[in-house]
Structure 1
């Protein structure tokens, strides 16, 4: 994720872009997407991409990814019926955790993607029953490797 003095990331910087439509219920009474919905977009994109990339229902694995940390930097307002694309990349792939760098792009009427938010999402993999940390499942690790953008 870019620091405040770095240029804003462009869609091309992300190995994957996951489409996420806004919903009527995402708007608050001011007519803009409520901040909590941005986190939902991140969660939907990461897990949707993992399921599509692995070809499995990740909820059925013996280890599950829980969100240990998340953040969002809001840059531009969104509103229903905006069409969004969440940029996904992996900035760190550890033994039991994955740190995602994310960005939300709004598609304008000409199909140009405008940056609306950047974020960070940390999945820690735990045993589905005991909730104790375990290594990232091989299927998830293989998919996450496709998103690695740093030498970490």
Structure 2
């Protein structure tokens, strides 16, 4: 989510990686729509799937992990059950030891139902001391920078 771009103006074409997630009956709250906490769960599932696929997490020999140090979400439209949504992701910024991930959930509409961001700082898995991203990690997501 670019700082200059309000969340409601995000569009599908601004995102570079995609996955689908189906709502479950258990995801709905007393109002009949998916609970806000579930949106975060979907974002986390999509981000983790993308990071594993791309080799940012769980790559052979990797000693670093990404810890979430900041996140935010704007909830823009309800989602119900049954519904399958598209979750799009892009990389907003690659730093020396951090990555800002930006994601959006889209239902049937062109406008997003929710837009979020996560900043992960990479640390050594055992010591939790900050480490620089490797050239391989940066290259694995370079095409996702939006």
Match of 1:136 in 2: 133
TM-score by length of 2: 0.86
Cα deviation for residue 148 of structure 1 reads 0.6
Q: Which aligned runs of 4 or more in structure 1 are off by greater than 6 angstroms?
A: none
CA distance in 1, matches of 2:20, 2:136: 22
Match of 2:143 in 1: 146
Q: Contact conserved, 1:63 with 1:127, CA < 8 A, in 2? A: yes
CA distance in 2, matches of 1:134, 1:25: 39
Give deviations 1:63-116, integer Å, cap 9, x for gaps: 00111111110100012221111111111100110001211111x3xxx55410
Match of 1:8 in 2: 9
Give deviations 1:15-70, integer Å, cap 9, x for gaps: 11222222222211221111111111111111101222339735973100111111
CA distance in 2, matches of 1:148, 1:40: 23
SS in 1 for 2:104: strand
User: What are the ranges of 5 or more consecutive residues in structure 1 without an aligned counterpart?
Assistant: none
Cα deviation for residue 127 of structure 1 reads 0.7
Counterparts in 2 of 1:8 and 1:59: CA distance versus 1, 3 Å: farther
User: What are the ranges of 5 or more consecutive residues in structure 2 without an aligned counterpart?
Assistant: none
SS in 2 for 1:141: helix
Match of 1:117 in 2: 114
CA distance in 2, matches of 1:24, 1:14: 28
Q: What is the Cα-based RMSD across aligned positions, in Å?
A: 2.4
TM-score by length of 1: 0.83
